[in-house]
Amino acid sequence: MTYFKSILILSLVLASIYACAQGKIEDDNRMKKEIRTAVPIIDSLQLKITVGDNVLYAEFKSNKTADDFIKLLPITLLMQDLNGREKYSSLSEVLSKKDGIKTTFEDGEIAYWLGGGLAVFYHQDNSTIKAGLITIAKLKDGKEYFKGSDNIKVKFEAVRKNQ
């Protein structure tokens, strides 16, 4: 009888430990999901951009389109020159189109083109982009690394500020 009591007690202890561990795993998973989907986390990140040996940084805009772009990172794109004003590449994913659509741009803006691509604007020529744009980030400096007619390979990464 003592043997059966010992087995019963051991079974209850193991079941309790298992239940506690499952609760912790569920709490951890819920917290990770909240972190991934929380808009304010964008405030702690910046966009790191590598062009050749040059490392640049851009400030993310706080919008759903920027959140969607962050989920694609890190990503390396071959960007082509377009009209002597921007480097452009198509994206494999469609990003949110609900935020601040505009048809004009500023130098240094990194924007999602509603036709399905990413543009880095380096020269203002006062043209309008009829399909529309949503700004996802703004370069702090270094737009000159995008100038020129050559295609360039550009790596985009989300990093914590002050890294």
> What does the pLDDT look like over 40-73, one tens digit per residue?
577 789 999 999 999 999 999 999 999 999 999 9
Q: Look at 119 and 162; give whichever has higher pLDDT.
A: 119
Same domain? For 30 and 45 the reply is no
Rounded (5°) CA angle 111-57-51:
85
What mean pLDDT comes out for the span 129-149?
96
Residues 30 and 71 in one domain: no
Query: Global pTM?
Result: 0.74
Q: Structural domain of residue 72, as residue ranges?
A: 40-160
Residue 128 near residue 49 (C-beta atoms within 8 A): no
Domain match, 49 and 28 both: no
Q: Residues 48, 110: one domain? A: yes
